[in-house]
Each structure stands twice: as C-alpha cells, then as structure tokens.
Chains A and B, each alone.
Chain A
Amino acid sequence: MTHDKSYVEKDYKVVGSRVKRPDGIDKVTGKARYGADASAPGGLVGRVLRSPHPHAQILKINTAKAEKLAGVKAVITSADLPDLTNGDQGMAHILENCMARGRALYDGHAVAAVAAVDEQTAAKALKLIDVKYKKLPHVTDVDEAMQPEAPVLHDNMFTRGVEPAPTKPSNISARTQMGYGDVDAGFAEADVIVERSYKTEQTHQGYIEPHACLASVNPDGTAELWVTTQGHFTFRNVCSTLLGLDIAKLKVTSSEIGGGFGGKTHVWAEPVALALSRKANRPVKLVMSRDEVFRASGPTSSTSIDIKMGAKKDGTITAAVAEMRYQGGAFPGTWAMLGCMTAFACYSIKNNRSVGWDVVVNRPKVAAYRAPSAPMAAFAVESTIDVIAKEIGKSPIDVRLKNVAREGTQAPYGPTYGPIGIENTLEAVKAHPHMRAKLKKNQGRGVACGFWFNIGGQTCVDLNIGIDGTVNLNVGTVDVGGARSSMAMIAAEELGISYDDVKATIGDTASLGHNDTTEGSRGTFSSGMATIFAARDAIGVLKQRAATMWGIPLEDVEWQDGQAIAMGDMHSNLPALTLKEIAAKSGRTGGPIAGHNEVVADGAGMGFASHICDVEVDPETGRSQIVRYTVVQDAGKAIHPDYVEGQFQGAAAQGIGWALNEEYIYGDDGRLQNPGFLDYRIPVCSDMPFIDTKILEVPNPNHPYGIRGVGETSIVPPLGAVGNAIADATGVRMTHAPMSPPRVLSALDARDAG
C-alpha cells in the first residue's frame, strides 16, 4: 500500500503552494558554485586544440614542442585515450567525439589537449602543437548528405532498416517507419489533400553556463570529478568505461547547473580532463569557451520534412504521411525516429505513416534539446493543418478538436493513450480571452499544439530525520528545474511537517544508488515517486518508535498530520507524539530514523500543450515581433506552480527564438560562421512579450500525486504557432525556420509577385 504507484485524489497542504526556492539566495548573491567555480590544490588549466577543418585526415600530431614549454604538465591525443569500448559502437562514437582518432569530422572536433600551470601557458602550448591534416570533401546539409555523390563520413555505415540491406556505405544511418491504417485509402477518401515541404535550421540549447569540470585522478585508480551536468551517475558510468576506472572509485559531484536543456546529458570535456589529470598526476580544470560550446558540444538537428495530409470537408483528417530527414552531426543518432513518434501524436488519424531518415554530416554530434526532434516535426504538421483548415474554410482550432487524440486513441508509435490533456488544452485555448483580443494592422494570430512523451526511470532517494525533527532529503536526480524545492515539498506533504523543516540536497555518486540523468522531463515524476515512498518508509519507522515509546502494539498507531496517534479506546489517554518528539528520543528507541527508496518509475504521463501566438510583421523589412503569447499545458499536478509556469515560459521562449532568428550558419568552407551569442541570435528580454500561462491538471493515473513531466512539451508548439501567426498576418506560409526577416521579406515578395 505504501508503495502503491496509482493516483489517489487528496487535499494537499504543501504541494501546489508557492514556497520560497531553496537555491534562490545563493544564486542571487553569487555564492552558488557552478561548474567553473571549483578549484583544487595544485590544479592545472586544461585547454583543447580543435580542428579548423570540417573533414580531414589527421596525418600526424607533433606535441614535442608543446611538451617542452615550461609550465606544461601534460599533452594528450587520442593515444592517451585508448579504445576500451569493447565493441560497443555507441561508446566508441562518444570516445571518438571527445578526441579525434585519425580523422576530424567537424569544425571544432577535439584533436589534442594540454594541461598547464596557467591559462596563458596552456594557450601558448596549443599553438606549439603541430597537426598535419589532409583535407577531405565535406557536407553539412542534410539533403545533400543523402545524395549518392556526397562525401561519406563513415565507410562502415550501412543504412539500417532498409530491405534489402544496402551494399554500399552512405551517410544515412537508419530508416525508421511507423504508423497504421491504409494511407492510400485515406487519401482516396479526402476532399482536400495538402502537400508541403519544410526545412528547419540547426539550433543550440543556448545554456548560459559553458561546460566546465574539475577532474582529479590518483595513481591508485581512484578519481573525482566536479562537473556541471544533468546526470552525474551517467557521466560516472561513461567516464569510467572510457578511462578504464572502476565505477565505485570515480566519485562525480554535480555542481549547480546554469542551464542544460538536454545539452548537458553527454560527455565532451570530462573524459579529456580526466585523461589530462591522469597523465599530469594533478587536478585539471577544463572550461569550454562559448566558441567551443557552439562548435563542439551537442546542438539539435537541422531537418528537411515533407508532409502530406488529406481531409474531408467536415475537417476529419483521413490520412497523413510524413517523410523526415534529421541530421545527427558526425555520428549516428535516433533523432528521426523521435520525429516520427511525435509528428502526429496530438491527433487521432485513422491512416498515418511516418518515415524517418537519420543522417550524418560534418557538424558536431547532435545531443538532446528539450523534447528532442519534436519541435521540427510539429512545425511541419501544425503548419500543414492550418493550410488544410484554410482550404476547407474551418477554424484551425476546430479542425484540431475534430481530430484530437483522446483516452483510448492509439498513438502513431503504438501504445494506446490513457487519460491525456490535449483536448482540454485546446478547449482552454478556445475559451481564452486571448483568442478574442483585437488584432492591429499587420498583426496575425496562430495556434499550435505539441506533444512530448515524458519518461520515468531509475531513481534512488534517502531521507534522514535529525534529532530536532528536521529532515535531510538526499536526491540523486540533478536539480535542473526546481527538484530540491519540489522534492522537499513532497517530503513535507507526506510526513505532515513544514516545508521549512526539510532540506533537500543533490547527493554525489558515492552517496546514493544509480539515478538516471535529468532528461525526458523525468525529474519530478520519478524522484517525486521515490520521495513519497521513502517518506512513507520513514513514517513506518516513526510509528514503530511511537509504539515503543508508548509500549503499545504497532497496529494501534496511525500517522496523521505529522504525528503519531494511538488508536482505540484503550489508548485514549495517550497524547499524540509529534515527529519532533519521536526524533528527539530516537537514540534510545532504536537509533536514527530514516527512509529509503529505489524505484524504476514507469507510467510517465504524456504531456500536451496548446499555444496562442500574436505576431506583428513589418511589411517592409520582414521582421516579426511577438506581441502576445499564451501557453496552456497539462501538468498532471503542479507541485510548485512557479516552477511549472517558469518551465512553460522558458520552453516557449526557446521555441520562439528558434522560430524567429536562431540558426547555425555554415560557410562554404564547412566552418561555423556564428559561434557566439552576438550572431547566434537567442532572443533578448526586450524581444519577448510577457508569456502568459495556464496550468491544467489532468492527473497521471500512474503516480500517487498524478504528476506528469512539464519541462519539455512547451518548446514543441512555438514554431508552428509563430508560422501560423505570420500566415494570418501576411497570407504567406513560411516553410523554412527560423522565419528570419530576410526569409519573410522574400516570401512577401513572392506573394506580391503573384
């Protein structure tokens, strides 16, 4: 019973309130310690030498001069990171991405690294490393990379998922297909058929804090790593494998994190810093510059997508087909598959098929970016639905509602939905005052929907009660979006005590069992579940101690509102024992009082959102200004509404940036032209309107509190919402994101040219 995962409706005392965040003071006073804020006695500075070529053979690396420079303590190349991956292709790619092995696959690919006594010496040493390259032809565009004449990156890569299996290597790592029904029959039923092709450019998560770590490896095989990460346990496992360390002997501590959004789920600098430290036998701090972050961390895919949808005059979508090409950077990923899974997930379409192509190009290896792969697919699908609505003369919201997915609908990727909130968000949008607000000249309004799976996974939590009755909660899932606050709230709720009496900490890898990375909006869902169960275990102990203190049978003790109650007429003279009173006596009743839980949280509740966007387009410059924006999303249960609203707003802001101006720009030379925040244009504050939010709560049946993940879903609709708003303002359908001023102006010209 205490570990029952199913949802139970109840009234909350702490959950759902807007308590003070525990990390606030440290962060606003500058005391918070991020990745670059650690130092160690005798610490060295690590720096990485990177390839200036998008594709080249590395003929020779001469490090002799750099090694002789006074103050240089170690120089490493791939020779110092021998391949211990034992046939694990995925791990081998991570290793090669961290340090080039005989070939450079993108502009910025690490080639060598140095550790020196200071920044200047390290910089000087990099210049003394002589690398002989043989330049190879490169390709950075996803469509070009798929052409038969394109330069091939991996001569051992044969497309998976194609029958018969190809005999020649190519840049296409895999083909995925999913869906159900008979699309040809569906199109035959349609009154209108719309086909459109879309492109989206590559974007970066744009976290403000660059990758940074402090690594220290000892000759006895023990090691420590302080790092900004979304998953220190995952980092420990990967680094141990790559460096040949025992997992238990590498202690990884996660620092405060200055944004991750999926970009801090993978290792880049960390194995290099560890290898430098091992060679120098001194601690090494490695901090990436912004230029390095853009060129050599993990941005998201650029894509090229074709959509074909057919509908009846009443709005019923009879068939939908998507053909999607995702570039994964220099190494294969499964990004197109995620596009296929999410493209039509908001709708119930009788006949649907999605085909995905995963493609490698000479760009940095793609990593997750907040609902990875979904925003591009949604841009294409949500734009196409608006085109259909226009053609059949129905409101875009009504067409969406006509086809909306409900409980019992089969998702395009297989499972049947339980209770979900997409219809609720659309109805809330329809009823929202924003929809009735008057638009001015050159303004337009667009609506779009979005879906994200959300995940659960492995979590391990410790709860320890001090002798004064205050509680330490040790959580292993990194606090990216408010975990310490919401976990403390949940513990307080379960124990029946004040939020101020619970202190949550993110434990290092030596203090808890494995915790999966904070990704897939799993943090609150899975850590929340483990925290509830750990607290209930502690309550079991508290009841036991109360029974001992009273000298009555355990079954006569109940826990209510933070205190033990002796039940039954026999004990009516016994006053309740508070948690504090029981804790004070714990030394004499059996020792410290604790709760613990490890769980694989499954049954994550899907997230759905619908957004409304108003845009004003300058007809002479093509510049779009977002003038009003509203997010409606189903949170299942909002533990701390401030954080939930912040997630909605942050996700929408990132989506708007992507929609308007953010893009990787590669030159003909295959080099990234804008590796900095000056020319990689994330929105500044004054670009944004206030982003209004509305939290809906459709409980997830697979969580005691009904929690769903909330962090990612709302980056999915903005591209479509902005595109639909621009179409409403101008009559022009944008099919290439970002919808930057030159692209919009040239589309307006095309419209005027008729």
Chain B
Amino acid sequence: MRYEKPATAKEAAGLLAKEKGAAFLLGGGTDLLVKLKMGMVEPDLVVDVKHIAKANEIQTTAKGFSIGAAVPSARLTEHKALQKAWPGVVEAANLIGSDQIQGRCTLAGNLCNASPAADSVPAMIAAGAKAVIVGAKKRRTVPVEKVATGPGQTCLGSDELIESITLPKPGPRTGDAYLRFIPRTEMDIAVVGVAVCVTLERGRVKTARVALGAVAPTAILVPAAARALVGTSLDDEALEKLARACSAACNPIDDKRGTVEYRTRLAGVLAKRAAKIAFARAGGKS
C-alpha cells in the first residue's frame, strides 16, 4: 500500500488517474481507517488530501462560503459566521460520531462515503450546497444531491476528488435546521434524518427546501414537501401536509436500524419538528 500526500487537488487527481489498483482518498479517515482495520478494503494507494492547502480552509466570499474538503466538523462550529448563516448544516456536521470523530470527520468525506444515512448531507442539500470536483483534466461543480448515486456510490470519476463544498450566502429571513432520529442520544447512525431550509416574506414561507436522509438509497430532495410549506406560516394543516409529503417520498429498507414502516412514519414526525426550528430561526412566529 502506497501513501501519498499531494500539495494540490490537481496533483491528487493526477495520482488517482495513474493508479491501476484500488485507490482511496483519505480525509479525516473516520470511514476509511475503520474499513481498513476491519479488512473491508485493501488499498493499493491512499491519497491524503489533508496536505492540500486549499482543502484546509474555510473561505468567506461575497457569494457565501467555501469549505475545504479536509476541514473537520469541529472547525465548522468554531466558525462564527458560518454557524450564524447555516446553523442547520453545522449542527448536522456535529452529529457525526463522537467528539473525537468531530475533530477529524469532514463534510466532503461524509458526502463521498455515500451512506444514505450521512447526517451532514440532507442539511447540505437543503442549504443548496455544491461540491467543487477536481479531475486530472477538468474541474466541475455539482449540486450535493447529485453526488451520491447509491449506497457507497458517487458520480465521481476514478480521477476525481472533491476540493471543497460551497454554501450560498443565505438570503434575509432564511433559517435551516437538521434533526435525526437515533435510539440513543449520540454516537449512532440516523434511522431517519430531515433537513429543512426556509426563507420567509412577510411572515410566510416564500421558498423552502426539504431533504431526507436514511429513507432511500441516497439522501433526497423532496420538492413536494417544500411546496407544502410555501405560502404558509406553518399552520397545523401545512405541517400535516409536509409530514405526508415526506412519508410519501420515503423508499427505505428494512434493516437492523429500522423498519420501512417506522422510517416512513418518523420522516413525517421529524419533518414537522425540523420545519418549526427552521421557521423560528428565519424569524418566523407561529
């Protein structure tokens, strides 16, 4: 097994392009190292992205934020402007694993691991985040909801890596929130995750984005759920409609973590709770 620590994303893409065996990217390593130790993967090449300068930065621009692929979750919490702009994304990233994991795990890694239950992904989708993907020959930007294509599968080519995640600058009176259900209080995998982002106008929802995790092969954006909220001030009827739309969008599996029935039901329950938080954060009064 070779270990490389390139200085630029382009150089990393070059290493990936040249490798004929099994190549893996190492960010925080909170998924890769576990898989390595359990003997689930046997890499020929490991490319560590933590030595790419840009991948370690959180940049604030006129358009919003750019979060490097190697930035650990714990640093998102420490970033006051990001925390203020996208509290839902930050709280989602800080539900991953334990305090120790927070010091290592990254948004890009959470996305590329492509678990349907990844906590940060629905929150990023609701916030309209995009992934900046660098390949050996070209660069492209892809909405986060298009990155995972199935459990453990992404749209990334064998020579591509995510350099950063961008988040737009939230418009006025915008609020987001993420809630997940786990049987315990922490250190667990979401049975269902729901992210809601709303922008208000005169006390009513003008635009909304609702995303679900752990209820389909990938995290999903649910336009019907968003439509249930638009034009309302989150009255009971709107919330019921939201819950029904979320449950209807579910296509989960029965497994050790939850049944189809339970996941479908909880998607609605959590959506209502998350919507109320997002609405309040946007300054809404119900």
Contacts and interface: CB of A to CB of B under 8 A. Distances in A.
B265 A745 contact: yes
Given A621-B269, A679-B256, A742-B262, A684 B183 contact: no
Give the most central of B38, B183, B262: most A CB within 10 Å: B183
Nearest to B37: A289
Contact of B183 (A291, A660, A665): A660
A121 to B, nearest CB: 14
Interface string A667-691: 0000001100011010110110000
B189 interface: yes
A678 B189 contact: yes
A85 interface: no
Contact of A681 (B183, B255, B259, B266): B183
Contacts of B181: 621, 623, 741
A658 to B, nearest CB: 13
B183 A674 contact: no
A708 B259 CA distance: 45
B257 A679 contact: yes
A742 B258 contact: yes
A661 B186 CA distance: 13
A620 interface: yes
Contacts of B187: 684
Interface in B170-201: 181, 183-189
A683 B256 contact: no
Nearest to A657: B184
Contacts of A621: 181, 266, 269
B184 A687 contact: yes
Decide if the interface of chain A is mainly helix, strand, loop or mixed: loop
Contacts of B189: 678-679
Give the most central of A673, A686, A741: most B CB within 10 Å: A741
A740 B184 CA distance: 10
A584 interface: no
Contact of A684 (B184, B257, B265, B269): B184
A660 B187 CA distance: 16
A681 B188 contact: yes
Nearest to A126: B39
A392 interface: no
Contacts of A541: none
Interface in B224-276: 255-259, 262, 265-266, 269
Contacts of A741: 181, 183, 262
A674 B185 CA distance: 19
Contact of B184 (A620, A661, A665, A742): A661
A242 to B, nearest CB: 29
Contact of A674 (B39, B186, B256, B265): B256
Nearest to B98: A684
A123 interface: yes
A554 to B, nearest CB: 64
A684 B256 contact: no
Contacts of A687: 184-185
A171 B103 CA distance: 51
A673 B255 CA distance: 9
A686 B269 contact: no
B39 A683 contact: no
Contacts of B259: 742
A660 B185 CA distance: 12
A683 B182 CA distance: 12
B183 to A, nearest CB: 5
Interface in B128-182: 181
Contact of A123 (B39, B185, B256, B262): B39
Nearest to A290: B38
A665 B256 contact: yes
B29 to A, nearest CB: 17
A745 B262 contact: yes
Contacts of A742: 258-259, 262
B161 to A, nearest CB: 27
Nearest to A682: B184
Give the most central of B38, B186, B262, B269: most A CB within 10 Å: B262
A289 B258 CA distance: 26
Contacts of B188: 678, 681
A291 B38 CA distance: 9
Contacts of B38: 289, 291
A684 B39 contact: no
Given A621-B181, A742-B262, A673 B256 contact: yes
A629 to B, nearest CB: 15
A222 B184 CA distance: 49
B266 A684 contact: no
A200 to B, nearest CB: 17
Contacts of B39: 123
A665 B258 CA distance: 11
A684 B262 contact: no
B258 A686 contact: no
Contacts of A620: 269
Nearest to B265: A745
A660 B188 CA distance: 15
Give the most central of A123, A623, A660: most B CB within 10 Å: A623
Contacts of A686: 184-186
Contacts of B269: 620-621
A739 to B, nearest CB: 11
A661 B256 contact: no
A681 B262 contact: no
B183 A623 contact: yes
Given A620-B269, A621-B266, A681 B184 contact: yes
Contacts of A623: 181, 183
A681 B266 CA distance: 20
A208 B181 CA distance: 26
B95 to A, nearest CB: 12
A741 B192 CA distance: 13
A691 to B, nearest CB: 16
Interface string A606-627: 0000000000000011010100
Give the most central of A621, A741, A745: most B CB within 10 Å: A621
A684 B258 contact: no
11 contacts: A289-B38, A621-B181, A678-B188, A679-B189, A679-B257, A681-B184, A684-B187, A686-B184, A686-B185, A686-B186, A745-B265
Closest 10 CB pairs of A and B: A686-B185, A742-B262, A673-B256, A620-B269, A665-B256, A661-B183, A674-B256, A687-B185, A684-B187, A679-B256
Given A620-B269, A741-B183, 7 more contacts: A674-B256, A679-B257, A683-B184, A684-B184, A686-B184, A686-B185, A686-B186
